[in-house]
Amino acid sequence: MTAEEQLEHLVGDASEVHSREELLEKLKLGRPLRIKYGADPSAPDLHLGHSVPMMRLRRFQELGHRVIFIIGDFTGRIGDPSGRSKTRPMLSQEQIERNAATFAEQADKILDIEACEIRYNSEWLEPLGSDGIVKLASRYTVARMLERDDFATRMANETPISIVEILYPLVQGYDSVAVKADVEVGGTDQLFNLLVGRDIMRAYDMQPQVAATWTLLVGTDGTEKMSKSLGNYVGIAEPPEEMFGKLMSIPDEALPQYYALLTDAGFDGAARIDRQMQSGELHPMEAKKRLARSIVERYHDAESARRAQREFEQVFSRGELPSEMPELQVRKDDLEDGRVWVVTLVTGCGGASSNSEARRLIRQGAVRLNNARVEDETANLEVSDGDVLQVGKRTFAKIRLE
């Protein structure tokens, strides 16, 4: 490819690039560029929202450029204020290490992880010390920092902003200095941080990085951005059936964005699919199945995608039970007159991560035993070997008495 063709291939579908002219000049140098991407391990799972910029990173890799994958074990303790209406709770070092443990393995589903330079930003941020942090802070002004939309909104609403949150964009910008980034990519919510990185690099007498951002993927609820904390996410390491089922639950109006950002269709192809749905030529259900097959095949394989579709159609279209279900072991010694607390069953099968969440699901009518809805969170249910427990639309378990 010529430099101009590379530019279109790499950032043609980006929301913003600061600036295309600078990136073109860098591409004309004819050397591998250093492409920075950072992820704070605030949760243990990478999801399809993360995959949007990471799929673009793969394009850089395929053209011979070097991806610098930064795991923010230092910045993760602070918490990125991007898109937040209040201060994030600070994570412990143990939480950070636990969440970061599987990041590289998950990223390998999208990137050629062996070709990546994987770095932890504690490597250069911890040695800065108080003297280095003070010098870094002196390179930026409070007025510039408060131009950030998140901060301006919180100021107007008289919502507190901690000093450590103001430091976050500075230390993320220093990451770019440390790894000598030519380009940094991220979601549109990261634009301010990426632009601060350009300013920080100039302050350290370095050529500023190009900042490229892509549209944020909406979650399965169709309203908020995809987020683990909001529960509207599809994890890239989830089982095929879980992934397929979640993708089938997205609202019809979200389909064009999913096609544009997550498949090879691009924005032109997504617009064509939208027109076909609007005209009645393509039913939204079929469009969702195509999308779900494509994504499951990307992160698993073609056979897994076909099997996940068959399972979905069996359970949701024909109302049948899944062909395979995990077993929920219940000890006979733990039963009282053959009964067990419903909350124990729901948490035991993985339908809820806590008793309080299980109670909420039961009150909402999301729990069934042998297809009979259970709405009393205090109920002690009589169970037999082979009974089927269902939590929500996708969690099934067959009870086995020991």
What percent of the chain has a predicted confidence (pLDDT) above 70? Answer: 96
Residue 324 has pLDDT above 80, yes or no: no
Nearest-angstrom CA–CA distance, 199 and 209: 9
What is the predicted pLDDT for the residue at 83? 55
What is the predicted pLDDT for the residue at 150? 76
Q: Which amino acid is at 372?
A: A
| Predicted confidence (pLDDT) per residue in 34-88, tens digit | 999 998 887 778 899 999 999 999 999 999 999 999 998 888 777 666 655 455 5
Q: 314 or 134: whose pLDDT is higher? A: 134
β partners of residue 184? 36, 211
Pick from 233, 288, 279, 231: nearest CA to 255: 288
Other beta carbons less than 10 A from residue 142's beta carbon:
8
Which stretch of 123-127, 245-249, 251-255, 337-341 has the lowest confidence by average pLDDT?
337-341
What is the predicted pLDDT for the residue at 371? 82
Q: Which residues of 370-383 are buried (b: 16+ CB within 10 A; e: fewer)?
A: eeeebeebebbbeb
What is the predicted pLDDT for the residue at 85? 44
What is the predicted pLDDT for the residue at 318? 65
Backbone phi, then psi, for 339, in 5-degree steps? -120, 155
The burial class, CB within 10 Å (0-12 / 13-18 / 19+), for 18 is middle
What percent of the chain has a predicted confidence (pLDDT) above 90? Answer: 61
Q: What length does the chain have? A: 402
Helix (H) or strand (E) holding 142: helix 142-145
| Helix orientation angle between 20-27 and 3-11, rounded to the nearest 10 degrees | 130
Q: 164 or 276: whose pLDDT is higher? A: 276
* In contact, 27 and 33? CB cutoff 8 Å: yes
C-alpha of 332 from chain center: 41
Nearest-angstrom CA–CA distance, 323 and 310: 10
Q: Which amino acid is at 228?
A: K
Q: What is the mean pLDDT of residues 124-144?
A: 91
Q: What is the mean pLDDT of the chain?
A: 89
Cα→Cα distances 378→147, 334, 382, Å: 51, 17, 13
| Predicted confidence (pLDDT) per residue in 230-262, tens digit | 889 999 999 999 999 999 999 999 999 999 999
Domains and CATH numbers, the chain: 3-214 (3.40.50.620), 240-317 (1.10.240), 327-401 (3.10.290.10)
What is the predicted pLDDT for the residue at 90? 63
